């Protein structure tokens, strides 16, 4: 197993470096350039990391940079349309499948370093290198003069009581600290992530950093989608709830199914049959646990007799995701202690009120009772506010419009201003 992985890795390094040198020789030298390292994830419209990679690439392209994204998987169906029009994308096949579950962080160090080497040879005349891997920063700073922006989605390691894990984590933390130390700009995806990181890893607080929520998008994407709901105190028409997230057990999507089961018990059948919940999400390759989780959710729906009301949608394309949001009336976000909550912003973009768990990043996004609700992360907690919006659709429409306004101010203009200032200083 080890020999096989080593052989594949050696072949991968050789091929990518040779390809990088060949490509680097024919790049234009009179255009400001930026390399965006997206090799830790496939490009997708699901997930904060992937959204940040696409958003900051488009931001740089708008500011007259020649942008190249390096990713391990690229499919136009699952990315923002503007990426294909404005960004050059290089696909690097991920070779670390299987056999690394117990040493995931060690794998990240190796693959991050290889990604950094690839970026170094791919465009040594670039101005900026943007990455979410502290491990890829080190070779970039060793072999190039590029300025590095490091985006921290969440700490790579967490506290542990195991002596062996402490020793292992100490080594990993040392490498991470070196990546932070040499980065020119460090940004976190939320204040919650920043506080968590600096509390558990005090050394990190020594580095000057900013908080940039990963949802600054093209001006043209901010569209006011009209919600056509009957403004009545008593609900009597169709109402669709939607969830857009990864099919990761950490997202606690079963809470939403439990909430629908509770609504079924106290809402008359003629009304409940018109209430729908669409759970859409990504099942990433190399993550068999996610596919299993999606299957378990489908089984739960059948066992609770909710097949007519709940639909599980796996790996919808970007356009299908947009259609789901456009056709829905309220977005649900069930993850507990979420780092940020990118799906909440998707709801606000489409003028949807949002019901989310009352912890983590959503506390920074949702103004309780104004643009959405912060619920206890239980079926009972979510059902309480779902029932409230079903019965008062006028309030749902008002809250959705407020969320859209907040998205414009907090997550478009402010992050762009911070980036312009920080990159301009560096």
372-375, strands of its sheet edge to edge: 310-314, 275-282, 239-246, 330-333, 354-357, 372-375
User: Does the structure show a pLDDT above 60 at 425?
Assistant: no
| Cα torsion angle, 155, 159, 165, 171, sign | positive
Nearest to 186 by CA among 176, 200, 175: 176
Question: What domains can you pick out in the chain, each with its CATH number?
Answer: 2-214 (3.40.50.2000), 220-410 (3.40.50.2000)
User: Does the structure show a pLDDT above 70 at 347?
Assistant: yes
Rounded Cα distance between 389 and 353, Å, is: 9
Mean pLDDT score, 327-349: 92
User: Does the structure show a pLDDT above 80 at 264?
Assistant: yes
| Cα torsion angle, 107, 108, 111, 117, sign | negative
* Contact between residue 81 and residue 102 where contact means Cβ atoms under 8 Å apart: no
Rounded Cα distance between 110 and 94, Å, is: 12
User: Does the structure show a pLDDT above 80 at 248?
Assistant: yes
Q: Is the pTM of this model over 0.85?
A: no
| Per-residue pLDDT at 219 | 45
CB burial readout 111-135, b (16+ within 10 A) else e: bbbbbbbbbbbbbbebbbbbbbbbb
Which residues, 6+ apart, have CB-to-CB distance to 156 below 8 Å?
A: 105, 108, 134, 172, 176
Question: Is beta strand 147-152 parallel, antiparallel or unpaired with respect to 372-375?
Answer: unpaired
| Per-residue pLDDT at 2 | 39
* Contact between residue 324 and residue 280 where contact means Cβ atoms under 8 Å apart: yes
Mean pLDDT score, 381-396: 93
User: Dmax over Cα atoms in the chain, in whole Å?
Assistant: 69
- Give me the phi and psi of 129, to 5 degrees please: -125, 125
Please, where are the H alpha helices in 188-314? 191-200, 254-266, 269-272, 288-303
User: Does the structure show a pLDDT above 90 at 75?
Assistant: no
| Per-residue pLDDT at 22 | 33
The H-or-E segment that residue 400 falls in is helix 393-408
Rounded Cα distance between 422 and 131, Å, is: 16
User: Does the structure show a pLDDT above 60 at 362?
Assistant: yes
User: Does the structure show a pLDDT above 70 at 23?
Assistant: no
Mean pLDDT score, 51-66: 83
User: Does the structure show a pLDDT above 90 at 313?
Assistant: yes
Q: Using one digit for the tens of pLDDT, what is the confidence trace for 134-156? A: 989 999 998 888 889 899 888 76
Is 120 in a helix, a strand, or coil?
A: helix
User: Does the structure show a pLDDT above 60 at 320?
Assistant: yes
Is 42 in a helix, a strand, or coil?
A: coil
Is 147 in a helix, a strand, or coil?
A: strand
| Per-residue pLDDT at 80 | 79
């Amino acid at each position: 197993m080890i020999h096989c992985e080593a052989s594949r890795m050696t072949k991968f390094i050789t091929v990518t470096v040779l390809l990088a040198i060949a490509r680097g020789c024919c790049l234009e030298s009179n255009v400001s350039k930026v390399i965006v390292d997206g090799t830790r994830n496939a490009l997708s419209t699901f997930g904060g990391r992937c959204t940040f990679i696409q958003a900051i690439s488009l931001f740089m392209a708008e500011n007259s940079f020649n942008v190249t994204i390096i990713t391990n998987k690229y499919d136009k169906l699952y990315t923002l349309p503007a990426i294909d029009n404005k960004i050059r994308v290089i696909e690097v096949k991920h070779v670390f499948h299987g056999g690394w579950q117990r040493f995931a962080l060690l794998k990240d160090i190796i693959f991050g370093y290889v990604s950094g080497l690839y970026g170094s040879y791919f465009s040594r005349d670039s101005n900026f290198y943007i990455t979410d891997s502290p491990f890829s920063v080190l070779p970039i700073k060793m072999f190039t003069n590029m300025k590095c922006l490091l985006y921290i989605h969440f700490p790579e390691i967490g506290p542990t009581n195991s002596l062996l894990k402490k020793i292992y984590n100490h080594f990993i933390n040392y490498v991470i600290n070196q990546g932070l130390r040499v980065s020119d700009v460090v940004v976190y995806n939320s204040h919650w992530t920043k506080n968590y990181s600096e509390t558990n890893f005090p050394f990190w607080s020594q580095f000057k950093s900013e908080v940039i929520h990963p949802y600054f998008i093209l001006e043209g994407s901010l569209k006011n989608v009209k919600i056509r709901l009957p403004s009545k105190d008593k609900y009597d028409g169709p109402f669709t709830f939607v969830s857009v997230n990864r099919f990761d057990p950490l997202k606690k999507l079963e809470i939403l199914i439990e909430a629908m089961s509770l609504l079924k018990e106290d809402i008359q059948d003629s009304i409940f049959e018109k209430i729908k919940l669409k759970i859409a999400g990504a099942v990433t390759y190399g993550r068999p646990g996610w596919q299993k989780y999606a299957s378990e959710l489908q089984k739960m729906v059948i066992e609770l007799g909710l097949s007519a009301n709940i639909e599980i949608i796996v790996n919808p394309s970007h356009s299908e995701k947009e259609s789901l949001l456009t056709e829905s009336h309220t977005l649900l976000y069930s993850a507990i202690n979420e780092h940020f909550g990118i799906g909440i912003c998707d709801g606000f973009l489409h003028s949807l009120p949002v019901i989310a768990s009352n912890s983590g990043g959503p506390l920074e996004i949702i103004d309780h009772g104004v643009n959405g609700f912060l619920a206890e992360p239980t079926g009972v907690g979510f059902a309480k506010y779902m029932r409230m919006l079903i019965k008062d659709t006028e309030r749902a429409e008002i809250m959705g419009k407020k969320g859209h306004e907040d998205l414009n101010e907090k997550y478009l203009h402010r992050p762009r201003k911070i980036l312009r200032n920080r990159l301009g200083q560096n």
